[in-house]
Amino acid sequence: MVRTLKAIKKKTKHDVSVWSGGANRKTTAALARVLLADDDPESRLTLQTVLRAGGYHVDAAASAAEALGKLDQFQYELVLSDLHMESPEAGLRVLAHARMMEYKPATALITSYRDGQLRRSRAGHHSGILIEPENLPELLGRIAGLISDRATRRLERELRLANV
């Protein structure tokens, strides 16, 4: 099935109307779409609120199964997943599925655990960043960096394909 550019744009970005300065005209800005998968309601709602305040469109999933369904339905610039949800490896399953998507979103594990041992034990199993949402400016900076790196990789891939 071939998707048109318009259909892809519709599925990946959400337009937000913004009134510009003193001129009475409307401009449109596109928000990066983030999938947040976390089974802990408090953590999920907190991160969702922080990300939205940071200017991102956030879809939230309370389980790995819900996240997998959203990955198949929409396109995301970034997928953030808690490591432990309904099973100890559920978060890794979500990120593995995301990496298999044609549109190649950036991926990262998130956790509210303060156990350094968890970070060390998972370092060899996951190439993304383990994000601990304790320092909000750092968190938002890392998220912006992940999305920026993904955009750069995508552009480089498109340029390589255009030169072939």
Paired residues of 29 in beta bridges: 16
SS3 9: helix
Q: Give the tens place of pLDDT for each residue, 16-26.
A: 433 334 444 44
Q: What is the pLDDT of residue 43?
A: 86
What are the chain's domains? 5-163 (3.40.50.2300)
Supply the DSSP string of 131-163, one letter for each residue. Answer: E-TTSHHHHHHHHHHHHHHHHHHHHHHHHHHHH
Angle at 81 between CA 62 and CA 72, to 5 degrees: 75
Assign 135 a pLDDT band (cuts: 50, 70, 90). Answer: confident
Predicted local confidence at residue 134, as pLDDT? 62
| Band of residue 60 on the pLDDT scale cut at 50, 70, 90 | very high
The pLDDT of residue 96: 95
Reading the block at residue 101, the tokens are 């998507």
Q: What does the pLDDT average to over 68-77?
A: 96
